[in-house]
Structure formats: C-alpha cells, structure tokens
Chains A and B, each alone.
Chain A
Amino acid sequence: MQGNIACAEGALAAGCSFFGGYPITPSTEVAEHMARILPKKGGTFIQMEDELASISSIIGASWAGARSMTATSGPGFSLMMENIGYAVMTETPIVIVNIQRGGPSTGQPTMGAQGDMMQCRFGSHGDYSTIALVPSTVQEMFDLTAKAFNLADRFRCPVFLMSDEIIGHMREKVTIPEEVDIIRRRPLKEGKLPFEPEDDMIPGFPEFGKGYRVHVTGLTHDERGYPEATNCELHSELVTRLVNKIESKRHEIADYDIINPQAEIVFITYGPPGRAVRQLMHDYSDLEIGHLNLRIVWPFPEKVLKEFPNASKFIVPELNMGQMAREIQRHTSIEVESLPKIGGEMHTPDELFRAMGGDS
C-alpha cells in the first residue's frame, strides 16, 4: 500500500467523516482516496477553492461534531497558517497532514523534505504549542494518522501529521487492524461554561446544535466564550493555558523507540532518516550504535535524552538544514552534531557511517 493511501485509510479507521482539501503534489493521493471512499461511508469530501478554505471548512465541520482533516504540502501549508492559529485559539480538534516537499516556495514538488518542522511549531502568529507526529514507515502512516485524531480530540487542538514525499509515495506492507482505538472528545459537562477548563486544563467540547448556544471567536475570550480583547490578565491566563495543556503532558504522550541505550554515539531521527539508521545498524551489527527514533516530535520530550547515559555525541540526520538538531541542543550539554541533507534524497547508511567517524 502507498503511504498516502495508508494515511487516508488510517483516518477512515479513526472515524474521520469530513475531508476538505485542495490538490497539491505530493499529497494529492490522500484527497483522491478520501474522495473515493468517504461518500460511500456517509461522510463528506469537498474540494475547496484553496487551502485557506480547506482548513476553514474542516474547522467548521469539527464544530458541527465531525472528525475532520485536510492534507497538503508546503505551499498549501503556508496558506493554512492563519487558521491554524484560529484552531489553536478556539480549541478546535482538527488533523492536518503535511506531505512535505522541498522548499522554500514552489521548490521541489516531487521531492521529499522535512523543512516545515519549525513552521508547524511556530508558523502561525502568537504563542502556542502544538502536537506533531512523524511516520517513518507506511505502517506508521496508518497508525499515526489514526492516533492523531485521538490526540486532537483529547487536547482540543490542531494535530499535525508531518510526513514527506518519501514515505507518502513509498509502498510497503501494511497490517490494518480489525479496529483502532477511538477516544472521542469529551463533551462539555453540565454546569460548566463553554470554555471553562477541567482539571487537565482542557474544556469539554460544546458541539454545535446540542443546545449549548456557544459563541466561538478567535478573539481573546473569557470562559463564556465572550470577547475580552483588552483584558491583560485574561489574555495571559488563556494563552498560558493553551500552551500548558499540551506542554505539561509532553512526556506522557511521547512516542519513540530506543535501541542500544548504552551506546556512546547515538542517532536521533524522525521520519525517513530513521530508516537509514536502521539499515546502518543492520549493515554494521558489530558496532554499538544508539538510536532514538521519535514518532512525536512536538511537544519535544526532552527527558528522553537522559535515556542514553553513556552518550558522548548525538548525531541528528534531518532532511532540512538542522531544524530539530537546534531544539535537541538546547536541552543537553552533550555534543549535538547536525547532519543536514536537502535536495530530495535520503541519507545513505554510508553517509551516516562517515558521520560516526568511520571510513567506508
């Protein structure tokens, strides 16, 4: 199965019933598959006029109660930034798939990249936090897309599947489970105001049409949902909560694999470079090589770096010019070596071997 199809299948398995999208290489197969399958399942597929409209439509659908998603790539992702902030501020669960390609601008439409990792974390204006999942296999395309919906519903925020052309267009064997875990958003409790948080800092969801009579606005708002745009304390409290409701759970929701934690040289990867590390470890099975492969990159679970007590160096191969390497460096005193690669090709195991100081 192709990666992009596995993504769509993962969404369908998770109960996604609304897809709003706009064609863009290399993500289009996600939309095409949803266009084929969703109407047969009683869901809605709509091709909007642009990516501004795509993300708007899925936010609207989410308030009407649907699990909704869109899929895009760099240029479309840039257009979505405004309403990513709106989804953050209004605490709207949505899933955004970014099948990354080479940028900036139109760049390399058919080539893989991981250049949007910082954009997905910081791209919209204002302070916020977010959740980003990164698959390194086609199986993970399925699994992590399904998981993204549960995280979006639980944390009431936009959740990103930050894949890329390489995994999106890769074909691998996928095992589709009989059913996937579906944990839907918690409804607003009786007696609570529409945006009054519970103990976990997350308010229950006042779905449209259920009699809550909620007013939803991107303006700074109080717990009733009413605009209070010049109240300094309120703004500070609201935005701090929006950040902390995610950041305070970063170690609980962390998702990663650790191999050879006693190693001195440790590769840290997410997405396609993890495959090259796995091949390297296979090719040089006599070498002690440590590997941390992250499936959730944001929020960054910095405590995981302590799982490598003997580490003398973290090597971070990325399909960008070192975006996560910088994030990792700020959490550790251990040397972090960035191994950037752009242009569209993956790191080869030999390149990784040479980065370890090996002679190939």
Chain B
Amino acid sequence: MKSVEDWYRHDRMPHIFCTGCGNGTVINCTLEAVMQMGWDIDNTIFISGIGCSSRSPGYITTDSLHTTHGRALAFATGVKLAKPEFDVVVFTGDGDLSAIGGNHFIHACRRNINMTVICMNNMIYGMTGGQGSPCTPAGAISTTTPYGATEPVFDLARLAEASGANYSARWTAYHVKELTKAIKVGMEIPGFSFIEAMTQCPTSYGRRNKLRTTTSMLEYMRDNAVLLNKAKRMEAEGRELSPGRFTVGEFVKRFRPALGVVKDEE
C-alpha cells in the first residue's frame, strides 16, 4: 500500500461535503493512521450512522455499512463479535453519537469492545441544515436555537472515559498531526478507542456564528483548544476555563480487559 489514495473509492467522487468542511481532513487523518497500522483493505470494515460524518465510509473502498441514525455502534458490535479478526472503524457525528445514539455509545464504552470510533464533532446537525445538537455551545445560534443555545454541552471524550473506554482523546481538524497520532494510538490499543475530532462546519454552524469562513473556524478551534495538562494546572490554581474554550489531548489510555479481542493480539 503506497498512498492514502488507494483507500478511496474513486468512482464515488465528487463527494457531498460542502466547501470548507472538515470531514475530509478527518478522513485523511484516519486513512493515514490505517496505513501506518498496515491494515488490509479487505479486512477493514468502516461503519457509520446517519449525518454528514456518516457519509464518509461511502468514499472508502473497504466493505462498509452505512446504517441508521444513532445505531452504528450496535451494528458494529454485531460485525465485530461475529468476526473479531476484522479491524472495525466507526465514523459518527455529535448528533448521531450523543443524542439519538447516546445509549449505544455508553454501552459500547462499557463493554470496551475492540474498535476505533471517530466522532466528527461539528457542534451542529449539518445534514439537516443546522439544528442545535447536544454539542452546540451555549449561546450559539442554530435554526432550533435562534436566540442562542441554552443547554450545557456533552463532553464526549470524558463521557467515553467515564463509561469505560480504554482510550479517549480529543483533537480538532486544525491539529492534524496530533489527531492522526491519536487515531493510530487508538487503533493500537485493544478495546474501545474513542477519538473526538472537532471539525469546522462553516456552512451550517459558522455562517450563523460570526465564523463564516473556513479559516475563521480553524482559528476558532486553534485559539480555543486548551491542552489537557494546562487545563489541569489551571484547575489546581483554582482557575476555570473561560466559556467557549475546550480541552484537547489524551483523556485516558489504559489496558482493561476488552471484548472482541482476537487471542494472538493479546
């Protein structure tokens, strides 16, 4: 395998992602990690639910399952347990994973089933035109929060950690090298690996929140991301993260017993 290009399903191009969308960056980071892992195209299964992020497996030339809204992890559990030798990767989004699929998410983490889950968190329902999600920041404008979102957001990476995943990390589409490395580490670790990739959605999120351009959204992610270690130091000093900022880094890396691990991998 020479190039990431070999993993793309070329006759499906052009893709449906909007100009400036961050999903392509996350797919590239994922395929780069897959190549570094030396995985076999015919032994790798990409699975997804519904939403922009979930269209990704359709552009990758492995066997792939584009399922129903929220249920990708339950489908993936069936695939993986029926054939544990498969390398399984799930693409999902903030709405797919944490709203309609929230129960499947915490239970897949609890089972610690051996797969890599990449959540493209664009803080919005992009496919349906920009409705608020459980990850839409307080104050942000969406079509269903026209006066500003009022509900607190889910911290997906910490939710995965608390629910039992062996690996959990958060980076952004700005932090390409860190994101690729985190995905690879997740793939190496037996058990449930969760990588949250904050991505820009200039079309449905940025447009309504004074982040109209792709660069302004990437700068937003760069400027508001706080390294986990720094956040911990701040906490020790009694300082809180200011609203709108979020932590990035590795939240947990451990080797608890996991489900769906092929014996010679142990």
Contacts and interface: CB of A to CB of B under 8 A. Distances in A.
A216 B47 CA distance: 9
Nearest to A94: B78
B92 to A, nearest CB: 13
B47 to A, nearest CB: 8
A46 B78 CA distance: 9
Interface stretch (A60-68, A167-175, A328-336): A60-68
Given A215-B64, A215-B66, A217-B66, A52 B74 contact: yes
B68 A50 contact: no
A60 B65 contact: yes
A216 B68 CA distance: 11
A44 B42 CA distance: 23
A213 interface: yes
A213 B65 contact: no
Interface stretch (A204-212, A233-241, A279-287): A204-212
Interface residues of B, number: 34
B171 interface: no
Determine which residue in B43, B45, B47, B71 has the highest number of CB atoms from chain A within 10 A of its CB, and name it.
B71
A208 B71 contact: no
Interface string A30-69: 0000000000000010101110111011111111111010
A85 B195 CA distance: 31
Nearest to B66: A217
Interface residues of A, number: 42
Interface in B52-84: 57-58, 61-68, 70-71, 74-83
Nearest to B57: A215
Nearest to A43: B82
A142 to B, nearest CB: 24
B86 A213 contact: no
A83 interface: yes
Nearest to A46: B81
Interface string B91-125: 00000000000011001000000000000000000
Nearest to A44: B81
Interface of A: 17-18, 20, 44, 46, 48-50, 52-54, 56-66, 68, 82-83, 86, 206, 208-219, 224, 226-227
